[in-house]
């Protein structure tokens, strides 16, 4: 018999265990052991770990691990409909924004959108070098017929980054104001940052249809919003205590302090967070192509699926180019702000 | 109650720690700073502070680091909350103010100058100076007119559009002072305002402050760890040690009559001839022959220079043309030696 029989007997739980004795499905290991003709117990370990599967052999009341994972799934499915009713309308604008941006970026003729983006770069970065590099990158992408997909990727990043900043900065401010809220948020942010991205794609697929663009929008935002929240919180907490004290001494209200002192002084840090957020949403956009996000990621995916080496590599280079473009532009903007903030 | 001081601190105590209110019983029972820290883990910041600060005077609070002087000044505008006691501002208890009323008081009654300047690095000198008016919601034109006026007054005309980081430390503190003056408050709190500056600049700034004070007659509370600075500026000097007042009063009086060894040690290092004034060491009026007249406000140094070092003379002391006393040069010399002066010299 199984190893842990004695334990349940000793605890007087035998009757409780056997109350509804119907044997659980056999595990793969059992099946293999049977097929091999050997006795399961004989080939087992001397002192097996008291895992759910091993305990189940001695006591049917205890579920197997497969029941455990099945229960998680059932539990999620049970609350799914309720969750959907709340989340669907809440996130619907995201779909509209993503679709709208996609439409805007792809239907505008290249001779309008490309100069416009280059002009925007110059406006933000104020650096000839960066502007020239951006222009070159777009021309190169156009030359290898990847401009459309690159613009699709870019449109997704624009929408997701803007929303991340719009949601992340207020969250960061709230975190900086309340230690309790900060303690609550930090584990959540750690979780979002470390949880493999595929893992939260699965429940999202259950919740939303794969054809809806908000599915990948949410996945990207969840992944990319973390740095901007963290660095907003950090930036505000790092603001010189003396200056805050001066603001208090001159009778500033909380609002005045936020807009006149804290946000301006935290801006370099916040911008560093925005830069990170842009880079992370770009990284996620490739994975999001698994759930129908258009853009360069789709080509990378095709490269993997069909083992089309060239397609994959060219799309990969396109993504690198986009990454460098976005990084240099946002960094140039950041250093421009830093210059205005020279602290003595 | 015509002589109500501008600011009155009564029985002010501050205990730092999570359970400060409960610690008050121990403190009132006479437990000292070390004992409180060792037995209860609370730090006694201030104990039994009673100070009257008169309108139009410079009250200097002096003490070494850790003596609680910075804590004390932050109680006046409640940047730090006291554990017990009263803070009366124009007879009104600051402790009873609501958050809104407190904010209003900080805007209209007292402004502050900081040791590390605490200017906003992203704003120009002009915008920094106008901070108080901006907070109060004054219109742009008023803000700029007032700020320019005070910047010019502190000698920074032409620097309006610079950023703080482009200025030297002394100039930044001038901006700090202009910012406090622009607020137009009666009370100015200055927390080690000149301590971060090098000595020559510091002297300039002290002169600037005294010059402004003649004209503006503000109630100034000045914190410093420098006795020379304290003696130069103070109308009323408060000496703090370990959070308690050791001695307070007219600075010349403290210098001549230190009440305990701690202060004696403090005052032994300074140049007494430069600090003491004729008024403080003169004797009552007599009818002897005088070598000449001296002004009561002159320093002993000036008188020594004038007498050429001759100690045999007597001088008649005159204030506003009226004779008020006699100064024997021998008394003057005695007053220059700390021990002798504290034992023998009597002050009028």
Q: pLDDT band for position A221 (50/70/90)?
A: very high
Q: pLDDT band for position B106 (50/70/90)?
A: very high
> What per-residue confidence (pLDDT) applies to B1?
44
How far apart CA B217 and CA B213 sit, in angstroms, is 5
Q: Is the pLDDT of residue B3 over 90?
A: no
* Cβ–Cβ < 8 Å for B223, B67: no
A315-343 tens-digit pLDDT? 999 999 999 999 999 989 888 877 766 54
The alpha carbon of residue B236 is apart from the nearest alpha carbon of chain A, in Å, by 24
State whether A265 and B122 contact (CB < 8 Å): yes
Q: Is the pLDDT of residue B2 over 60?
A: no
Q: Is the pLDDT of residue A40 over 80?
A: no
B247-303 tens-digit pLDDT? 999 888 888 888 888 888 888 878 888 888 888 888 887 777 777 888 888 888 888
How far apart CA B238 and CA B255 sit, in angstroms, is 12
Average pLDDT of the residues of chain B = 87
How far apart CA B230 and CA B247 sit, in angstroms, is 14
Percent of chain A whose pLDDT exceeds 70: 91
Q: pLDDT band for position A27 (50/70/90)?
A: low
Phi, psi dihedrals of residue B163, rounded to the nearest 5° = -100, 150
Least confident residue range of A20-34, A217-231, B88-102: A20-34
> What per-residue confidence (pLDDT) applies to A208?
87
How far apart CA B154 and CA B209 sit, in angstroms, is 9
Q: Is the pLDDT of residue B323 over 80?
A: yes
Average pLDDT over every residue of A270-297:
91
Average pLDDT over every residue of A242-254:
93
State whether B79 and A249 contact (CB < 8 Å): yes
Percent of chain B whose pLDDT exceeds 90: 45
For the ranges A2-11, A141-150, A329-338, the one whose mean pLDDT is highest: A141-150
pTM above 0.90, yes or no: no
The alpha carbon of residue B306 is apart from the nearest alpha carbon of chain A, in Å, by 47
How many residues appear in chain A? 344
| Integer angstrom CA distances of residue A308 from A301, A302, A312, A320 | 10, 7, 6, 19
Is residue A305 within 8 angstroms of chain B, CB to CB? no
> Mapping DSSP to helix (H, G, I), strand (E, B) and coil, where does residue B79 land?
coil
List chain B residues with CB under 8 Å of A245.
79, 114, 118
Within 8 A by CB and 6+ apart from B75, the residues are B9, B12, B14, B46, B81, B82, B87
State whether A260 and B120 contact (CB < 8 Å): yes
Closest by CA position to B113, among listed B188, B54, B39? B188
> What per-residue confidence (pLDDT) applies to A152?
94
The alpha carbon of residue B85 is apart from the nearest alpha carbon of chain A, in Å, by 21
Average pLDDT over every residue of A109-115:
93
> What per-residue confidence (pLDDT) applies to B342?
47
DSSP class of B266: H
> What per-residue confidence (pLDDT) applies to B303?
84
Q: pLDDT band for position B346 (50/70/90)?
A: very low
Mutation target for A interface from B73, B76, B103: give the one with most A CBs within 10 A: B103
The alpha carbon of residue B81 is apart from the nearest alpha carbon of chain A, in Å, by 13
CA dihedral of residues A167, A170, A175, A180 (deg, nearest 10): -90
């Amino acid at each position: 018999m199984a190893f842990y029989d004695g334990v349940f007997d000793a605890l007087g739980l035998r009757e409780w265990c056997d109350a509804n004795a119907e044997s659980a499905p056999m595990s793969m290991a059992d099946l293999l052991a049977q097929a091999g003709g050997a006795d399961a117990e004989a080939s087992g370990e001397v002192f097996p770990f008291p895992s759910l599967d091993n305990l189940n052999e001695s006591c049917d009341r205890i579920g197997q691990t497969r029941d455990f994972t099945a229960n998680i799934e059932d539990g999620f499915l049970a609350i799914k409909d309720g969750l959907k009713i709340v989340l669907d309308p809440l996130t619907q604008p995201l779909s509209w924004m993503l679709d709208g941006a996609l439409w805007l970026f792809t239907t505008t003729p290249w001779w309008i959108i490309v100069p416009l983006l280059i002009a925007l770069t110059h406006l933000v970065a104020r650096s000839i070098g960066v502007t020239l590099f951006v222009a070159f990158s777009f021309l190169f992408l156009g030359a290898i017929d990847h401009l459309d997909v690159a613009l699709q990727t870019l449109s997704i990043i624009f929408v997701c980054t803007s929303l991340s900043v719009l949601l992340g900065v207020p969250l960061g401010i709230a975190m900086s104001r309340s230690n309790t809220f900060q303690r609550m948020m930090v584990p959540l942010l750690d979780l979002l940052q470390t949880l493999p991205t595929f893992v939260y794609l699965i429940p999202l697929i259950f919740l939303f249809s794969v054809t809806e663009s908000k599915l990948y929008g949410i996945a990207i935002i969840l992944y990319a919003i973390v740095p901007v929240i963290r660095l907003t919180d950090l930036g505000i907490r790092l603001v010189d205590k003396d200056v805050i004290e001066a603001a208090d001494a001159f009778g500033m209200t909380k609002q005045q302090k936020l807009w006149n002192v804290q946000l301006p002084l935290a801006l370099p840090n916040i911008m560093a967070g925005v830069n990170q957020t842009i880079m992370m949403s770009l990284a996620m956009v490739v994975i999001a192509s698994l759930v129908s996000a258009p853009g360069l990621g789709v080509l990378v995916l095709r490269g993997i699926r069909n083992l089309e080496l060239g397609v994959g590599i060219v799309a990969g280079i396109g993504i690198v180019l986009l990454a460098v473009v976005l990084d240099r532009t946002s960094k140039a903007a950041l250093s421009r702000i830093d210059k205005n903030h020279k602290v003595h | 109650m015509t002589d109500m001081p501008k600011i009155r601190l009564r029985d002010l105590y501050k205990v730092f720690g999570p359970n400060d209110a409960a610690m008050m019983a121990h403190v009132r029972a006479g437990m000292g700073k070390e004992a409180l820290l060792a037995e209860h883990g609370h730090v006694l910041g201030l104990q039994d502070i009673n100070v009257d600060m008169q309108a139009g005077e410079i009250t200097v609070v002096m003490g070494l680091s850790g003596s609680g002087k910075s804590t004390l000044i932050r109680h006046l505008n409640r940047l730090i909350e006291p554990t017990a006691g009263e803070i009366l501002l124009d007879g009104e208890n600051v402790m009873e103010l609501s958050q809104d009323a407190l904010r209003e008081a900080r805007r209209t009654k007292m402004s502050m100058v900081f040791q590390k300047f605490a200017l906003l690095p992203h704003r120009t000198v002009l915008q920094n100076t106008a901070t108080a008016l901006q907070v109060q919601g004054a219109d742009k034109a008023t803000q700029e007119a007032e700020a320019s006026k005070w910047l010019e007054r502190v000698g920074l005309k032409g620097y309006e559009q610079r950023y703080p980081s482009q200025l030297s430390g002394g100039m930044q503190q001038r901006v700090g002072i202009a910012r406090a003056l622009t607020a137009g408050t009666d009370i100015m709190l200055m927390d080690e305002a000149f301590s971060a500056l090098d000595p020559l600049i510091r002297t300039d700034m002290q002169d600037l402050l005294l010059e402004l004070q003649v004209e503006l007659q503000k109630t100034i509370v000045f914190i410093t760890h420098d006795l020379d600075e304290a003696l130069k500026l103070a109308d009323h000097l408060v000496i703090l040690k370990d959070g308690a007042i050791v001695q307070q009063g007219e600075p010349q009086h403290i210098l001549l009559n230190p009440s305990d060894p701690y202060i004696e040690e403090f005052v032994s290092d300074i140049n007494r001839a430069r600090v003491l004034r004729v008024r403080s060491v003169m004797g009552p009026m007599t009818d002897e022959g005088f070598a000449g007249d001296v002004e009561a406000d002159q320093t002993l140094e000036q008188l020594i220079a004038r007498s050429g070092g001759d100690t045999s003379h007597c001088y008649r002391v005159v204030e506003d043309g009226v004779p008020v006393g006699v100064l024997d040069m021998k008394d003057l010399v005695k007053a220059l030696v700390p021990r002798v002066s504290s034992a023998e010299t009597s002050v009028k």
